[in-house]
């Protein structure tokens, strides 16, 4: 049984981002291009990316539970100065959808990984003066999920349920 920690507010952030950004992402991703190794290989984290498969620019798994492979990947929009996390599921029909964005300067410290189905502990109580060790809620994921991690910083797990992308914090 795997357990990791999280914050439930991430669900609402994902919903807002989807409603704001799903249009451009589904209509051809104007201005977006996939992140390539050459975009991140000049930074010290490149050594880690080469040695560890989990320090990836994409993640492949059955995220929507239909038995077919889906893909999460990083793309950049240089004119806007941001990178984005896109999810392309086999069921989506309309193409990839944008789930997360951040400033392009942080791109070299970001990576993706696939997680198998299982039970994960959230960081829902993380923001207190003395958070309880056992205050996180358990999330039981029935399909693959993927993590977005900032090296030496935070990590979130993203999952699909009823065609809605949600996430929770697994580290701070």
Cβ contact 21:13 at 8 Å: no
Instruction: Quickly state the pLDDT bin for 8 (edges 50, 70, 90).
Output: very low
Residue 124, CB-side half-sphere exposure with 13 Å CA sphere: 12
| 17-23 long-range Cβ contacts below 8 angstroms, 24+ apart | 17/98, 17/99, 17/100, 17/101, 18/97, 18/98, 18/99, 18/164, 18/165, 21/84, 21/97, 21/98, 21/99, 21/101, 22/97, 22/98
Residues in the chain: 172
pLDDT digits (tens, 9 = 90+) for 29-84: 689 999 988 787 766 655 665 665 556 889 999 999 999 999 999 999 999 999 99
What's the confidence (pLDDT) of residue 154? 81
Cβ contact 114:144 at 8 Å: yes
Render the burial of 126-137: b for 16+ CB within 10 Å, e for the rest: eeeeeeeeeebe
Kindly report the average pLDDT of the chain as a whole number. Answer: 76
pLDDT digits (tens, 9 = 90+) for 138-157: 889 999 999 998 877 788 89
Please give the residue that has the higher pLDDT: either 140 or 126. Answer: 140
């Amino acid at each position: 049984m795997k357990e990791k920690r999280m914050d439930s507010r991430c669900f609402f952030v994902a919903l807002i981002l989807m409603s704001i950004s799903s249009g451009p992402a589904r209509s051809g991703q104007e201005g977006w291009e996939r992140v390539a190794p050459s975009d991140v290989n000049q930074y010290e984290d490149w050594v880690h990316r080469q040695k560890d498969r989990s320090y990836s620019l994409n993640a492949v798994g059955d995220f929507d539970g239909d038995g077919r492979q889906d893909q999460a990947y990083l793309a950049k929009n240089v004119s806007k100065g941001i990178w984005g996390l896109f999810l392309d599921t086999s069921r989506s029909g309309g193409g990839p959808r944008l789930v997360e964005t951040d400033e392009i300067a942080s791109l070299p410290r970001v990576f993706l990984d696939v997680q198998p189905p299982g039970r994960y502990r959230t960081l829902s109580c993380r923001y207190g003066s003395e958070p309880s060790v056992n205050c996180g809620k358990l999330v039981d994921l029935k399909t693959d999920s993927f993590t977005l991690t900032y090296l030496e910083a935070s990590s979130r797990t993203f999952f699909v349920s009823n065609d809605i992308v949600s996430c929770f914090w697994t580290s701070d």
